[in-house]
Amino acid sequence: MTSTHRSYFDPRHRSDPAPWGFETSDYDKRKYTLTMASLPRAHYESAYEPGCSIGVLSEQLAQRCRKLIASDIVPELVERSTLRLQTLPHVAVELRAIPEQWPEGCFDLIVLSEIAYYFDASDLEHIMTLLSASTAPGAHVIAVHWRGSTDYPLSGDGAHLIIGCTPGLSHIVHHLERDFVLDVWERDL
């Protein structure tokens, strides 16, 4: 199966501005709380969150980052995130498609939340190569994904297996629930 085509996301957000209930679901509230609690450092210099959707997690990450780039491929979501985060001048919300438009710069935190399973194994491995090239030793990579059945190219568990096989990443946090898996890796020194 190939990576999920970008056209999959546009109609979902036109018919329902929050099709996955990011602001209201107990699942997401718990996931965000554990994501933030699992970050090994209190503060990060520069973070990147691809697939930010409406910016709910971005808003929380912004409290722990001196600079945050949040991106999405759906223009309406970028607009909503920009509105949500407009009072935070250290946050840039950008229209970007990864892996083609991976941002320049060096990050000490990259957050892959509910995005990696939309890619096929080859594309996710390419993303991990880009991620490795844009993180310094000691940087953290956090991934959290739904574990239930989907029609995406990868399962949450499968995506985490690929991420975890990336050379130069050491596994430091693993949290497994029936609904989601959360892992943190650190770039080797």
What is the C-alpha to C-alpha distance for residues 81 and 70, in angstroms, rounded to an integer? Answer: 8
Task: State the Cα–Cα distance between residues 112 and 45, nearest whole angstrom.
Answer: 17
Provide φ and ψ at 185, rounded to 5°: -120, 155
Cross-strand bridge partners of residue 150: none
Structure-block tokens of residue 111: 């957050």
Determine the pLDDT at residue 12: 47
> pLDDT at position 8, please?
54
- Alpha helices by DSSP H, 5-155: 9-15, 26-38, 56-62, 75-84, 121-133
Give yes or no for a contact between 81 and 71, defined as CB atoms under 8 angstroms apart.
no
pLDDT at 98: 96
Q: What is the pLDDT of residue 20?
A: 53
pLDDT at 189: 75
pTM (two decimals)? 0.90
Residue in the structure block whose two tokens are 């979501």 = 77
Cβ contact 124:154 at 8 Å: yes
Residues of the chain with pLDDT under 50: 11-13
pLDDT at 10: 56
User: Helix, strand, or coil here: 100?
Assistant: coil
